[in-house]
Structures are given as C-alpha cells and as structure tokens.
Amino acid sequence: MIEIIPAIDLIDGKCVRLSQGDYAQKKVYNENPLEVAKMFSDAGIRRLHLVDLDGAKAHHIVNHKALEQIAAQTDLIIDFGGGLKSDDDLRIAFESGAKMITGGSIAVRQPEVFASWINKFGGDKIILGADVKDEKIAVGGWIETTELDLIPFVQKYIKMGISKVICTDISKDGMLQGTALDLYKKMLVNEPDMYLIASGGVSSVEDIEQLEEARVPAVIIGKAIYEGKIRLPDLRRFIYL
C-alpha cells in the first residue's frame, strides 16, 4: 500500500502551486489553507506536506501561523519545510505543531547543521529533501544545480540515521506529465529499505498505481488534486482507514 500525502504550498498565507519551482508561475487555489487541510482530513487522509515558499525565499520560517492553525484544528500529521535554516526555525516549526520537518538546501550547504538535527531529533522526525535535475542535487529553490550525485548524497544521510527521503524531479514538478518512475526504481534498488516519498508530476490515479507497483512507499500529490485531475474519492482505496 502506498501512503498518500497531499501538499499545501504557502505564499502570503495562501494555498498556491508553482510550476517547476518558478515563483513567476504561481497560481492561488485557496485563500484559506486550513479549509483545504480540513477537506483532506475529512477525506480520511492522515498526512500533509506543508511547504513555506515565503520561508524558502527568506531563508527562515515565515508561515508558521498557518502551520499552527492546521495542526490545532485537524488531526493531520504534518511535515513542514521551506527555508528552515536554524535551530530556532526548527523550534518554531515543532512548537507550531509539525511532527516532522524537511530539510533540503541546508543538507547540501550546511551538512554539519543538518547532521546535528538528525542527532538531536532522530531520523524519524527529520526528512531529507532531495531535489534533483538529471540525477544531480539542486538547491536554492532549484535555481542552482550542484555536482552532487543523487544516490551517494542520499546514502550519506541514510548512514547518519535518515529513513525518509522526499525526492522531487524538478523537470516533472507541477507539469502534470507523470512521475520520475525509473529514477525511483533505481533509488530503491540501491537502498531498498529507504522510505522513499515520490514528489512531482503526479497527474492521474494511474501514476499512483505505477508507483505502488514499483513499491514506492509514499507519494506527494499537489497540483493534480487542485486542478481536478485526481478527485479525493479516487484516492479512497489508497488511504489507510
């Protein structure tokens, strides 16, 4: 069974989606993220991926009030990411109700800080965000591609205790053209016990079925839900009730 994790991306406290991480290609779907979160919760969904896009730009947590509201008024288990750079950011995120946080750029640019978070909070609370382009890690809201190869990068942090990895293929994200299925299969061949969370490109229930068949443990779905390509009732058979 594959775990379904809808995404809410936040700009100015509103629920938005970008295409390929481009802030110029922003579309507002709802002024009230809490309303969206309640809709997911009412459908039986238990997890939420909440992304602070303002925080990603500002390099510190910004939309913690939205996190606080959703955590207080739903039963969703929230992982929160976007611009978390300091111990203080993590403190605010966890105090605001996040059960897990996702770190991406910081794992590249300040690996010692990210490693200290793993040691302090444990691999079950810290998720590695591995954004990738042509199997190279990308950072800074995907503006910059590094020379770091995806699989060795992920393996380094698995050795440190990370168990959950969100892998987003930048070329797929927000494009509704299918997932990076072959890449995920390759990752699981190298690290079969990793809790791999596929992200980017989901456009249909068939995409989810293909990931499930490939034994990918979890998938983040964003734009496909907001654009009506996937309806919440379509997800019932994937949801743990």
Residues classed as catalytic: 9, 131
State the first-to-last Cα distance of the chain, in angstroms, to the nearest integer. Answer: 12
The answer to whether residues 200 and 170 touch, using CB atoms and an 8 Å cutoff, is yes
The answer to whether residues 123 and 148 touch, using CB atoms and an 8 Å cutoff, is no
Tokens of 64: 């913690």
Task: For residue 228, give the DSSP letter.
Answer: T
Q: How far is the C-alpha of 145 from the C-alpha of 226, rounded, in Å? A: 28
Tokens of 214: 């490939």
Strand ranges (E), 150-224: 164-169, 195-199, 218-221
- The answer to whether the Cα torsion of 5, 6, 9, 10 is positive or negative is negative
The answer to whether residues 45 and 4 touch, using CB atoms and an 8 Å cutoff, is yes
Picking from 197, 196, 203, the residue whose alpha carbon sits closest to that of residue 179 is 203
Q: Which residues contact 189 (CB under 8 A, 6 or more apart)?
A: none
